[in-house]
A and B are shown apart, each in its own frame.
Chain A
Amino acid sequence: MKTKKQDELVHDHNHDGIDRRGFLKCMAWAGTGALCVMQGGVLKSYALGTAGGSGAKVSAGELSFVQLSDSHMGFNKAANPDVAATLKAAVDKIGALKVSPEFMLHTGDISHLSKPEEFDTVDQILKGASAKDVFFVPGEHDVLNDDGKQYRDRYGKQGSGKGWYSFDKKGVHFIGLSNVMNLKAGGLGSLGAEQIDWMAQDVKNLTSSTPIVVFAHIPLWTVYPEWGWGTEDSAQALALLKSFGSVTVLNGHIHQTMQKVEGNVTFHTACSTAFPQPKPGQADAPGPMKVPADQLRGLLGITEVRSVHGKHALAVVDESLSEKAETPHASNY
């Protein structure tokens, strides 16, 4: 009954639900927007512009949440002199979503310099969001100078007090991890044995049909090791999730969207709400990228994620902060 549309999966050479064209769309540079729908481990991708045209309505009773990342409150350099304004724009975007999210995940670098007033400002701005609950994980900018004590004092009550924790929402199991502490010279992000042991216990009694969402700041896959964009012991953590049918990994840190599918795992990185960073290897260093002022908001954004109960499906939608950007239509399941 479904008619084939221009941007649906067409070629599936590897029988993994991914055609090259669709995969590239999912890896689309921030601001263009892609809608990726996971159904029973199969990824389908659509360009946002075509996503609203047809299809069934979103099922009732599903879970919808938003991922925010890399707010860098306190940053005031040329790449974005007003990161509070762009975070407010992100909050406005959330308020305008067709499906109101139940909560937000913030995948770290809340602050730029771990200053109390920076955290205060973010907390204040996020109070204006349509979703009230925010689940945080730390970025390296949040744990400067004090080994994360202030971060844990503020946000650690959500979990074990060490920056990692889990919770359940409508049958989806969420695992928040910290991979920005105790980094070693020359190394990548690091989870550490204690956290991986905790995670093994955490997932031990879950049924394999439980959809899993893992969120952490630094990517849990190796995006670009030359710039430290990866986590050295992420494979050990992901090995614990092999038996699960649907695993979605949400990260930040690299200030651009990127997506990869490996077996049962979909990896996704979100845009920053503060400033963009260069694509891997396309600059001398991964620092803030200055773009013309009228292009900035097209390179910042939020990520909306929806889970359809009973379908093991997670839809991941990136939306830029540009006012010109199209509003995604939640009607393509």
Chain B
Amino acid sequence: MRRSVCIGSIILLLAVGSNRAVSGEKTPPAQPQQAAAASAEVKIDNFKFGPEAVTIAAGTTVTWTNRDDIPHTVVSTDGVFKSKVMDTDERFSFTFSKPGTYEYFCSVHPKMTGKVVVQ
């Protein structure tokens, strides 16, 4: 039932790896059965999360992809999520169900930080 509430206002995010701020004015008329597919992507290039900050709607799945020659991790500062180590081209996904700001970093290279804002 909570899902049906979300569907009306859900923002279908197709982050394309740019730094484009995502705002949610336009909502495609999503089919109810497809609404759960809301997703966003973060690429890891040159020891940086790109984009460093993503803003998403609750229920969105964020997928991180490591495109470096060096392994990285995605670890929530507050312990909410933690990936296994990702070698080149490996991915990690997490679905954010609750609004809030989730800061994270790479536990191998802690200078690498990012955040996910869930609205």
Contacts and interface: CB of A to CB of B under 8 A. Distances in A.
Contact of A183 (B48, B88, B107): B107
Interface in B53-84: 68-71, 73, 77, 84
B47 A285 contact: yes
A185 B103 contact: yes
Interface residues of B, number: 22
A77 B71 contact: no
Main secondary structure, interface of B, reads: loop
B111 interface: yes
B110 A287 contact: no
Contacts of A187: 110-111
A144 interface: yes
Contact of A287 (B47, B77, B108): B47
Contacts, number: 58
B69 A288 contact: yes
A184 B69 contact: no
B46 interface: yes
Contacts of A288: 69-70
Contact of B69 (A227, A228, A287): A287
B77 A141 contact: no
Nearest to A286: B47
A113 interface: yes
B113 interface: yes
B96 interface: no
B46 to A, nearest CB: 4
B70 A228 contact: no
A228 B109 contact: yes
Interface in A130-189: 140-141, 144-145, 183-188
Contacts of B103: 185
Contact of B84 (A77, A145, A228): A145
Interface string B84-119: 110110000000000000011101111101000000
Contact of B71 (A112, A188, A284): A112
Contact of B85 (A114, A284, A285): A114
B71 A287 contact: no
Contacts of A284: 46-47
Contact of A113 (B68, B69, B85, B109): B85
Given A140-B108, A185-B77, A185-B104, 8 more contacts: A75-B69, A77-B88, A112-B71, A114-B85, A186-B110, A188-B110, A285-B46, A287-B68
Interface of A: 75, 77-79, 112-114, 140-141, 144-145, 183-188, 226-228, 284-288
16 contacts: A75-B69, A112-B71, A144-B71, A144-B108, A145-B85, A183-B107, A183-B110, A185-B103, A185-B105, A185-B113, A226-B111, A284-B47, A285-B46, A285-B68, A287-B46, A288-B69
Top 10 A-B pairs, shortest CB-CB distance: A185-B105, A285-B46, A285-B47, A144-B85, A183-B110, A77-B69, A228-B111, A284-B46, A185-B77, A140-B108
